[in-house]
Structure 1
């Protein structure tokens, strides 16, 4: 077995990828493993792009734009979601930070020269309006934390807001919360939250020796939302993506290959 610091067995994951019905441009790991706080029983979230053959695009019977398969392997739930490249390219042009995180994930299970081209095109998809994605994602996770009290949605809340703030300032997609704790806005208790989360997938604040007060959490959440707003206003990122022509050209070449 070949395991990295995340505990993932990449040889085993590549065997899963080899068994898919369509050619994959790439497959990477997303979710808690990418975000820097996987637990021993975390799901394995595989995300990628498949390429439908021409006959399943131009004819009356078209192939699936999205494939979603979930199963258990070695007592872990594995979820593989892939989009046909045409759909994925459209998502990349729609201020969707989630798909850019998948393209740029350092946890690469399968790659190709076309994936490398996609990585090179990704900066041309960034706009200041990616703030909407991270603002909305952060609110959804914050509301989920309010209902469940679990650490996972709380960490997701802070992760997405800090990713958005960093993106607007630097033009860099950084999804690993361990790296984002260096931002001046990052609450100082994040490392402790991550340490507890890695011990239990469904851990709660009550598992901490001295949990942060609810008032502190809400104050930090609102502060990060304001920082995201300020980042949007001050960002030098463009209003519109510039990568549309490059993605169009790549799609044609990939499809006809």
Structure 2
């Protein structure tokens, strides 16, 4: 599946890697994550391939199972690849628990591979969104903030990851929609000035910010967390996912079809 965020060489490397991995497992979906999906790729950004695979039902019932979470990191033709995959069962449990990583794999916009069954799962995943996602996005943003505050170079990337996670979480809590590209959310939530960070990051993965820019954003970043907190307090989402039985039925149908 062609993705506009990738150039011809990146697309060819991604296709090569996924063809090789599909010799060992059947992908339900492969989503492009990281800077390419978040709206601020640079020429040296790696390809972050986050996958969900389906273990054959007969293998689940038998003695020998595949590795639970296969991963692969390497550089091919100058393109850095970071591939990982999780089986559909823990992924769906994670969706119910509000795990944004798994939710984004299923409903994210940039798909490199998708099996026909994904069409039936996407609306169920969106219907399963609950206020539990607040914990995920708050935790992710907090860890990124620690990296930002931890000293060393003041990179645009670290700060953009804080904004990306707080604003994706905010938007999901307010609207029930999952938008991963932070550039689509900046203006809506009053962070249009962050486009200077986007431009800096697009210039290079390790672009360092001037001290004056860092100081200005040190005073702004708390507002991103306050925005997330406010969205949680007034969220349109239910406290708990309402359709666990529907997801269970979908998985049973999938297992039967793959026996």
TM-score calculated relative to the size of structure 2: 0.90
1:202 aligns with 2:201: no
Deviation at 1:47, TM superposition (A): 0.8
Alignment of 1:181-220 (within 5 A): 181-186=186-191, 188-206=192-210, 211-214=212-215, 216-220=216-220
Deviation at 1:192, TM superposition (A): 1.1
105, 108, 124: which is aligned to 1:105? 108
Q: How many residues align?
A: 251
| Equivalent pair of 1:145/1:154 in contact (CA under 8 Å) | yes
CA distance in 2, matches of 1:102, 1:62: 23
Deviation at 1:74, TM superposition (A): 2.1
Deviation at 1:158, TM superposition (A): 0.8
Matched residue of 2:165: which SS?
A: helix
CA distance in 1, matches of 2:126, 2:58: 32
1:19 aligns with 2:24: no
96, 100, 123: which is aligned to 1:93? 96
- Aligned match of 1:163: 168
Q: Which runs of 5+ in 2 are unaligned?
A: none
- Aligned match of 1:252: 252
Deviation at 1:34, TM superposition (A): 0.2
Matched residue of 1:46: which SS?
A: strand
Q: Could you list the runs of 4 or more consecutive aligned residues of structure 1 that deviate by over 4 angstroms after TM superposition?
A: none
CA distance in 1, matches of 2:187, 2:218: 20
- Aligned match of 1:74: 77
Deviation at 1:189, TM superposition (A): 2.6
TM-score calculated relative to the size of structure 1: 0.91
Q: Which runs of 5+ in 1 are unaligned?
A: none
CA distance in 2, matches of 1:251, 1:3: 28
CA distance in 1, matches of 2:84, 2:71: 4
Deviation at 1:87, TM superposition (A): 1.2
